[in-house]
Structure 1
Amino acid sequence: MLFFVVLSSLGFLAFYLSRSSKEMPKNWQQLRSEILWQYLGVRGLIEDYYLRKYNRVDLFKQPGRVAVITGGNRGIGADVVEKLLQCEINVIMGVRNPKEAQKNIELRVDFSELDGVKIYYEYLDTGNLKSVRQFAKSVQQKFNKIDILINNAGIMASPYYLTEDGFESQFAVNYLGHFLLTHLLLPQLKAAGTQDLNSRVVNVSSCANILGEINMNDINGTKDYYPPNAYNQSKLAQVLFTRHLQLLINQDEDLHLQVHAVHPGVVDTDLFVHSSTTYVPWFKKLLFKNTEEGSRTIVYAAISPKIEGKGGSYLSNCVRVPVNPLAKDKVLREKFFDFTCKLLDISFFPK
């Protein structure tokens, strides 16, 4: 009896300290979501362990190419930027705090060893559609061609709030803003792609997409909001977007572009700020990937010759892995794509 009590207490403590959100589940559906989230987290850690030998990316010089990345002033994004600069790729960073981003990158990178590589720090809030449009305009004024777009910025399991545009924050920041940015920069991506070398879009998703469901009748989750469910939806949305956009690209012989969705792994970053794992920081440092390891698959998707011409894939640890079965539903993908275009008042995509 004592053993059962001790075991139960340890199980509850583990549940309490590793919750996806600091909010406790309020009903059975939310509790079920939390249990599935924790199961997925454990599975993700196991996957990262067994696939770690594949989690490698070869860096090589690519002078003259241009990459745009959202986020990147810290965490995984900063390591991605550092790797791109090592490849002598010019980088435009879209971040909420350009001065902080500049300070962080200059502490990491010795620009005296880079031959003519340029980096730009621009303000961007992907949760604000006006900001996305202003950022895209600034990028277009600087470059006629963009070789790589990395949609990296994101938030996870945040408390409920609506953006100025009236959208649930995770849906807006993780997905909607990136959808709009990709649309706006598509002419520059199209101009950069050639028959020998595609331009690329990388959507930084998550293994949480596997638990995601798309509720177009209540996309903001107003009826029963639970932070991880909204996150799961936003990450599935990125995968659906990836798959459908690649289908549209394949129908245009003049569009030399490929799109990938990426799960960087279970990584120790500030993304977990709303998670109860912040109560036990040693837990993340002991079991999670570090940010450099988490950056590898993103950079692999952006530059690796091994996947040239193989767009539409979902990658983890630099290999293709199974995706949410919903992502294979062509009808759902097209319906959700059209739904998103209506939300953003986009009449034609690609253009």
Structure 2
Amino acid sequence: MLALALIPLPIAFVIFYFLRSSKEMPKTWREFVSELKMQGSGAMGLLEDTFMRFKNKVDLVKRPNKIVVMTGGNRGIGLYVIEKLLKCDMIVVLGVRNPEASKKNVDKVLGTDLTKDHVIYEKCDTGNMESVREFAKKVQTRYNAIHLLINNAGVMCTPYEETKDGFESQMAINHLGHFLLTHLLMPQLVAGSEDNDGLNARIVNVSSCVHRVTDLDYDDFHCKKFYYPADAYNKSKLAQVYFTRHLEGLFAQHELKIQNHSLHPGVVDTELFTHSATDYVPWVRRIFFKTPEEGSRTIVYAAISPELEGKGGSYLSNCAISRMHPKAWSPMECKKLFDYSCELLKIENFGFLEKN
């Protein structure tokens, strides 16, 4: 918002028009403010990506035969996350909407020499809680222990849609599906933490810098009273940060060798922007945004970097600990989101760690 205010009015209007989060113009003042917040946060994110470019590096540490479970990953940033993890000699289980098509795309981009026998594809739609449960069962059947969970699948600024479970789709896909999956796979993560070369098992939640410009509204959690795509997206990303913070407290309370991180991968040129007006000027994304490979680095850094060992609960950007929403420091705020998510998903005993 401040960044736009410092630009001459005609130029600011052009930027606003072509870089807005939705292809439709805001229709009300509240929508306009939401859009300004989104664009302001995005502008600051681009500046941070530019000035912190020298930090955005990750060393690939060998972790032979360690098991990774990741949602999404068949395109965009996820492809390069897979590539880096495979170069660490890890085994990757992908939860994707279309396993067959995903396998063809991953093999085409990365090559079968790298992926053969090291990438397993299973169906998982994080917006459908039944699908999440079925995916978790398949992982549990195949592996007694996993060492890394990457909650990566996501959508951004989509038109309003209510899922089969009655949830707003962005909150369901980006947060609630991953919340449920983490709950279901907690026994495998605990087992993995006990057989992990003395290191903590890890959970990585892919959030966004825009989580800083919103707040959660529990009276309208599914946006039935007010829906603006950017606002709903921001809220889903804030929920991921709150979840990360509270979960870290549970790990400490139960003295588990598990840590988790939330992160901003950067402003990246991917299909995530399909619903934004940047589709009208794709060359802008190619010039100014990170490439998918650059966007993958912070995710992999959060997943394997020895520098982060014992520093769970932190929020990362450009392969460094970064600032998060001020309320994320409040245990009460984080617990409120955690308890509300448990209530929505009918979870009475999260990961067997806590009774509500």
Provide the C-alpha distance between the structure 2 equivalents of 1:193 and 1:23, rounded to a whole number of angstroms. 47
Alignment of 1:226-237 (within 5 A): 226-237=228-239
When residues 113 and 280 of structure 1 are mapped into structure 2, their CA distance, relative to the original with a 3 A threshold, is closer
Aligned to 1:162: 162
User: SS of 1:26's equivalent?
Assistant: coil
Alignment of 1:214-253 (within 5 A): 214-253=216-255
Aligned to 2:3: none
User: SS of 2:49's equivalent?
Assistant: helix
Q: Percent identity?
A: 54
Alignment of 1:13-52 (within 5 A): 13-52=14-53
Deviation for aligned residue 1:130: 0.2
Q: Which amino acid aligns with 2:221?
A: I
- 1:82/1:105 contact within 8 Å kept: no
User: SS of 2:205's equivalent?
Assistant: strand
Of 289-298 and 10-19, deviating more is 10-19
Provide TM-score, normalisation by structure 1: 0.95
Task: Give the number of aligned pairs.
Answer: 343
Aligned to 2:119: 119
Provide the C-alpha distance between the structure 2 equivalents of 1:101 and 1:172, rounded to a whole number of angstroms. 22
Provide the C-alpha distance between the structure 2 equivalents of 1:43 and 1:26, rounded to a whole number of angstroms. 25
Q: Which amino acid aligns with 2:305?
A: S
What CA RMSD, in Å, does the superposition of the two structures yield over aligned residues? 1.3
- 1:95/1:121 contact within 8 Å kept: yes
Provide the C-alpha distance between the structure 2 equivalents of 1:34 and 1:119, rounded to a whole number of angstroms. 39
Deviation for aligned residue 1:62: 1.4
- 2:67/2:90 contact within 8 Å kept: yes
Deviations 1:324-346 (A, max 9, x none): 01111211111111111010010
Deviation for aligned residue 1:111: 4.2
Deviation for aligned residue 1:30: 1.2
User: SS of 2:262's equivalent?
Assistant: strand
Q: Which amino acid aligns with 1:332?
A: E
Deviations 1:90-126 (A, max 9, x none): 0100111111211121123344367x85211111100
Q: Which amino acid aligns with 1:264?
A: P
Structure 1: state its 5+ residue gaps: 1-6
Aligned to 2:180: 180
Deviation for aligned residue 1:222: 1.1
Q: Which amino acid aligns with 1:205?
A: S
Provide the C-alpha distance between the structure 2 equivalents of 1:17 and 1:162, rounded to a whole number of angstroms. 28
- 1:70/1:153 contact within 8 Å kept: yes
| 1:101 and 2:87 matched | no
Structure 2: state its 5+ residue gaps: 1-7
Deviations 1:139-182 (A, max 9, x none): 11110010000000000011001000000000000000000000
Aligned to 2:79: 78
Deviation for aligned residue 1:210: 0.4
Q: Which amino acid aligns with 2:130?
A: K
